[in-house]
């Protein structure tokens, strides 16, 4: 069993995630992105998973998500994961890399998706 430790999560990121609107609209792809703190894995919530320190996120990255969904760099479908899409968003400030936002469509809806995870990537692979 994985041992839960408070030092692997950034509480500032969890607080920033709680401040996001519960639904973000992407008019270009006719999607509604839902932000919820449901159980991601057996031992952690979705926000705890996103707030892991190894995801390299900053609070300003989280705050940039609603605008980033409307003005993304690339929107791509995952080749490996069914019903999963990626948004690549430019980071603000002098930070290098992109915010990679993974969303998955709900099983019973093709217009609603939920955020699976968010992390920083440094290269966008053209598939």
Q: What is the CA radius of gyration of the chain?
A: 14
Residue 127 lies in a domain: no
Helix (H) or strand (E) holding 25, with range, is strand 23-26
3-class secondary-structure state, position 36: coil
* pLDDT given at position 114: 94
The domain total for the chain is: 1
Residue 96 lies in a domain: yes
- Phi-psi domain of 62 (left: phi exceeds 0; alpha: psi -120 through 50; beta: other): alpha
pTM: 0.87
pLDDT level of residue 94 (50, 70, 90 thresholds): confident
For residues 73 and 98, give the distance between their C-alpha atoms in angstroms, rounded to a whole number: 9
The pair of three-digit structure tokens given for residue 123, joined into one six-digit string: 């290269």
Residue 102 has pLDDT above 90, yes or no: yes
Residue 59 or residue 1, greater confidence: 59
Q: Find the domain containing 79 and state its range.
A: 6-121
Average pLDDT, the chain: 89
């Amino acid at each position: 069993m994985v041992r839960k430790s408070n030092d692997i999560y950034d509480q500032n990121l969890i607080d920033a995630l709680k401040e996001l609107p519960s639904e973000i609209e992407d008019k270009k792809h006719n999607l509604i992105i839902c932000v919820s703190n449901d159980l991601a894995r057996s031992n952690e919530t979705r926000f705890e998973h996103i707030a892991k320190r190894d995801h390299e996120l900053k609070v300003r990255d989280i705050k940039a998500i609603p605008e980033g969904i409307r003005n993304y760099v690339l929107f791509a479908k995952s080749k490996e994961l069914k019903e999963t899409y990626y948004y690549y968003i430019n980071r603000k400030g002098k930070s290098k890399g992109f915010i990679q936002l993974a969303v998955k469509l709900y099983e019973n809806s093709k217009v609603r998706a939920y955020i699976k995870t968010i992390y920083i990537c440094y290269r966008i692979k053209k598939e």
